[in-house]
């Protein structure tokens, strides 16, 4: 099954750590509820809030683009709207390129002379 940000899903708690709880969403997919997303307010011990095997209704907060790690929330389960979902879709895109340089698909030879000049200036300093 594919999941998307803002989707409400049902899962079962499979593990509890100091930092959060792992939830099985289906046979092949797990997500993490960070301790800060368990409830509003302070959570001293997750074992007071959750137990292994407990059925939980959660909201998908984020899906990391490259590793497909899923972040879940219990406290936002009642606050999700379509508008929030649409705003949060691209919050955590990560690029492994220098996309801020805006070179696009121009041929290297079009930029080569400019790059050589810049490199010579840096070397001469």
Assign residue 36 the CATH number of its domain: 2.40.50.140
- Show the beta-strand stretches assigned E in the chain: 8-16, 20-24, 30-34, 55-63, 70-73
For the chain, state the CA radius of gyration: 22
Total domains present in the chain: 1
Whether 106 shows a pLDDT value over 70: the answer reads no
Average pLDDT, integer, range 65-81: 77
Whether 124 shows a pLDDT value over 70: the answer reads yes
Place 92 in a pLDDT band, splitting at 50, 70 and 90.
low
pTM > 0.75: no
What is the residue range of 81's domain? 8-94
Residue 104 lies in a domain: no
CB atoms near residue 9 (< 10 Å): 19
Residue 108 lies in a domain: no
Residue 39 lies in a domain: yes
Contact 72, 80 (CB under 8 A): no
Give the single-character DSSP code of 82.
Answer: H
């Amino acid at each position: 099954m594919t999941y998307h940000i803002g989707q409400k899903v049902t899962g079962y708690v499979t593990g509890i750590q100091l930092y959060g709880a792992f939830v099985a969403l289906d046979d092949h997919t797990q997500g993490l509820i960070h301790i800060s997303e368990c409830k509003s307010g302070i959570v001293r011990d997750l074992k007071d809030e959750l137990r292994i095997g407990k059925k939980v209704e959660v909201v998908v907060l984020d899906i990391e683009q490259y590793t497909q790690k899923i972040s879940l929330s219990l406290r936002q389960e009642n606050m999700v709207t379509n508008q929030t979902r649409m705003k949060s879709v691209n919050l955590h895109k990560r690029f492994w390129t220098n996309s801020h340089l805006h070179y696009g698909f121009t041929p290297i030879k079009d930029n080569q002379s400019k790059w050589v000049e810049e490199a010579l200036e840096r070397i001469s300093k």
